């Protein structure tokens, strides 16, 4: 069944049962492969939509609402299931009535998901936590909030708002089901909707990341232990345990002959397992990079090339030095930036007659960092625009270069050093 999640930035050191070196390497690789691990909404990278992806439906209380492309799959499957169910339950209806009601009921259900996410968002806004977007996708709804709650109370209230909203909707649809006796179509739709909203509320209260219940568990553990790190580890571990239970249950159901239900249950379990792991990785990575500035890890060796050399000459320079990103200069002054990727946009036979100036990124369009900028912010910006290197500029002068693989090495070293300190 679709799930609901609200997500936020968090901080946690790496721990777990896997060998420490393997765990450190895995988290570092995840940081570079998966940008949202370092952003709000870092829970589910397997199929999770990126911020602002999909079809924009509009704004509700100032929050943009999107439909991810994967949503159409679950909408089609849910509508087909409901249409078939209504056909069996009400054989006297016309085929048109069965399928129109299936579509309307599906839309009302996804409207319920939006209401669930809005409840998280309203409470977050009450605490002055920005809400970036709400997205409907294949596994339900996703509200992205701009930062983590600052206290256990905030965490608890934001988390509990979603299940309470689903219970409220369940009650509303139940009242319609009980009181509206004049139309079988309304009764059929409201009867299914009050039950599914109640199931949604109960499912989301399971105490494990990334579900709302996992965040409630973390809030309670945070309040009791006063240790956010320990609380996050508890909730993440519980989430993985529940995910493995779902996977095992799904496989068992599939082997019993119900392949569709079983595989879907196992798939959701797999999704939740990845979400719990990546939530844990997110906070571990963020905690490790906290306090590191661009100036701390930048290379002061700034590779430069003249803008009037040909692409063929530039490729030879890359092969000679192994550097794949260079500042382009004209009369000794920086005028742009060029990478090997830019060269690939030009056909091979034209390299000899094409200058770097034709493919370079002009200086006024370069993404750059300041020496005092946190490395975490630099990495987030690199990943948001899909670049691997960034110049560091101070007082109008390029004072260094910073690369994603450099950040990876720093991250890995700091995490390994942290483990040694714990021994």
User: CA angle, corner 232, sides to 229 and 238, nearest 5?
Assistant: 140
**What's residue 49's pLDDT?**
53
Q: Smallest Cα–Cα separation from 149: which of 63, 216, 240, 209?
A: 216
**pLDDT, average across residues 313-320:** 92
| Highest-scoring range by mean pLDDT, 232-236, 251-255, 262-266 | 251-255
DSSP-derived letter for residue 140 is: E
Show the 3-state SS of 380-394.
Answer: HHHHHCCCCEEEEEE
Same domain, 254 and 327: no
Q: What digits encode the pLDDT tens for the residues 193-237?
A: 999 999 999 999 988 887 899 999 999 999 998 887 788 888 888
What angle, 0 to 180 degrees and rounded to 10, lies between the N-to-C axes of helices 259-289 and 404-422?
Answer: 80
Structural domain containing residue 85: 3-289
Which DSSP state fits 146? S
Tokens 């909408």 belong to residue: 75
Predicted confidence at residue 3, as pLDDT, reads 56
Does the pLDDT of residue 1 top 80, yes or no? no
Mean pLDDT value across residues 371-391: 85
Same domain, 228 and 123: yes
Question: Which letter does DSSP use for residue 38 in this model?
Answer: G
Same domain, 72 and 219: yes
Confidence band (pLDDT; 50, 70, 90) for 272?
confident
pLDDT value at residue 4? 54
Q: What is the pLDDT of residues 123-138, one digit of tens each?
A: 999 999 989 889 888 7
Q: Which two tokens stand for residue 129?
A: 């936590």
CA angle 11, 17, 22 (to 5 degrees): 80
Locus of tokens 């509200």: 143
Q: 3-state DSSP call for residue 302? A: coil
Residues 144, 236 within the same domain: yes
Partners of 191 in the β-ladder: none
Statement to judge: residues 92 and 199 lie in one domain: yes
> Does the predicted model carry a pTM greater than 0.75?
no
Confidence at residue 43, expressed as pLDDT on a 0 to 100 scale = 32
Whether 214 and 165 map to the same domain: the answer is yes
For residues 315 and 278, state if they share a domain.
no
What value, to the nearest 5°, has the Cα angle with vertex 110 and ends 130 and 58?
Answer: 50
Cβ atoms within 10 Å, residue 40: 24
In this structure, are 317 and 168 located in the same domain?
no
Query: What pLDDT is recorded for position 275?
Result: 79
Tell me which DSSP letter residue 374 carries.
B
Q: How far apart are CA 166 and CA 193, in angstroms?
A: 10
pLDDT digits (tens, 9 = 90+) for 138-172: 777 888 887 788 899 999 999 999 999 999 999 99
> How far is residue 364's CA from residue 103's CA, in Å, rounded to a whole number?
50
CB 404 within 8 A of CB 379: yes
Half-sphere exposure (CA, 13 Å, Cβ side) for 358?
A: 16
58, containing H or E segment: strand 55-60
The average pLDDT across 402-409 equals 86
Cis omega (within 30 of 0) for bond into 336: no
Domain boundary (289, 320, 345) is at: 289
Quote the tokens at residue 395.
Answer: 């007082």
Please enumerate in sequence order all residues whose Cβ is within 8 A of that of 252, keeping only pairs 6 or more positions apart, or say none. Answer: 262
Q: Are 304 and 187 contained in the same domain?
A: no
Band (pLDDT 50/70/90 cuts) for residue 313 is very high
How many domains does the chain contain in total? Answer: 2
Per-residue pLDDT at 310: 93
Q: What is the mean pLDDT of residues 323-343?
A: 88
- The mean per-residue pLDDT over the stretch 176-188 comes to 87
User: Are 282 and 298 in the same domain?
Assistant: no
Say how far apart CA 179 and CA 194 lie, in whole Å: 13
Shared-domain flag, residues 337 and 275: no
Mean pLDDT for the stretch of residues 271-294: 80
pLDDT > 70 fraction of the chain, expressed in percent and rounded = 86
d(CA 292, CA 374): 6
Q: Are 102 and 83 in contact (CB under 8 A)?
A: yes
Highest mean pLDDT among 52-56, 248-252, 287-291: 248-252
Whether residues 16 and 136 share a domain: the answer is yes
Residue where a domain terminates, one of 289, 318, 352: 289
In whole numbers, what is the pLDDT of the chain averaged over residues?
A: 82
Task: Tell me the CATH number at 381.
Answer: 3.10.580.10
Confidence band (pLDDT; 50, 70, 90) for 21?
very low
Cα–Cα distance for residue pair 8/344, rounded to 1 Å: 38
**Local structure of 85: helix, strand or coil:** helix
Phi-psi region of 386 (alpha: psi -120 to 50; beta: other; left: phi over 0): left
Among 88-92, 270-274, 419-423, the range with the most confident prediction by mean pLDDT is: 88-92
Q: Which of 263, 289, 315 is the last residue of a domain?
A: 289
Whether the link from the prior residue into 2 is cis, omega within 30° of 0, is no
| Residue 315: CB atoms within 10 Å | 15
pLDDT band at 244 (very low <50, low <70, confident <90, very high): very high
């Amino acid at each position: 069944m679709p799930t609901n999640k609200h997500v936020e930035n968090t901080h946690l050191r790496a721990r777990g049962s896997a060998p420490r070196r393997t765990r450190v390497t895995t988290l570092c690789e995840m940081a570079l492969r998966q940008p949202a691990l370092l952003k709000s909404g870092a829970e589910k990278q397997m199929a999770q939509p990126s911020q602002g992806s999909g079809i924009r439906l509009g704004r509700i209380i100032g929050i943009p609402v999107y439909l991810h492309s994967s949503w159409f799959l679950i909408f089609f499957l849910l509508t087909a299931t409901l249409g078939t169910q209504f056909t069996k339950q009400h054989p006297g209806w016309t085929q048109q009535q069965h399928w129109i009601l299936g579509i309307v009921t599906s839309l009302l259900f996804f409207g319920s998901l939006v209401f669930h996410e809005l409840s998280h968002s309203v409470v977050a806004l009450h605490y002055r936590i920005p809400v970036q977007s709400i997205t409907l996708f294949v596994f339900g709804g996703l509200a992205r909030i701009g930062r983590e709650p600052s206290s256990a109370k905030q965490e608890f209230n934001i988390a509990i708002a979603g299940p309470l909203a689903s219970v409220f909707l369940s009650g509303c649809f139940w009242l319609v089901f009980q009181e509206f006796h004049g139309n079988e179509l309304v009764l059929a739709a409201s009867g299914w909707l009050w039950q599914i909203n109640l199931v949604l509320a109960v499912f989301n209260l399971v105490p494990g990341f990334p579900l709302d219940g996992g965040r409630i568990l973390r809030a309670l553990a945070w309040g009791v232990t006063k240790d956010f790190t320990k609380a996050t580890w508890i909730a993440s571990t519980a989430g993985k345990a529940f995910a493995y239970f779902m996977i095992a249950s799904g496989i068992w159901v599939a082997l019993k002959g119900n392949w569709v239900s079983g595989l879907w249950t196992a798939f959701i379990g797999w999704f939740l397992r990845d979400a719990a792991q990546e939530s844990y990785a997110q906070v571990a990575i963020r905690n490790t990079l906290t306090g590191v500035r661009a100036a701390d890890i930048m290379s002061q060796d700034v590779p430069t090339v003249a803008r009037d050399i040909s692409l063929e000459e530039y490729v030879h320079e890359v092969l000679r030095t192994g550097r794949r990103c260079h500042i382009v200069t004209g009369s000794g002054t920086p005028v742009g930036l060029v990478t090997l990727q830019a060269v690939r946009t030009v056909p091979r036979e034209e390299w000899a007659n094409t200058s770097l100036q034709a493919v370079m990124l002009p200086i006024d369009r370069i993404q750059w960092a300041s020496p005092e900028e946190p490395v975490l912010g630099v990495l987030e910006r690199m990943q948001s625009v899909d670049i691997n290197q960034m110049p560091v500029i101070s007082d109008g002068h390029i004072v260094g270069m910073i690369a994603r693989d450099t950040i990876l090495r720093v991250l890995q070293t700091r995490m390994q050093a942290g483990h040694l300190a714990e021994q």
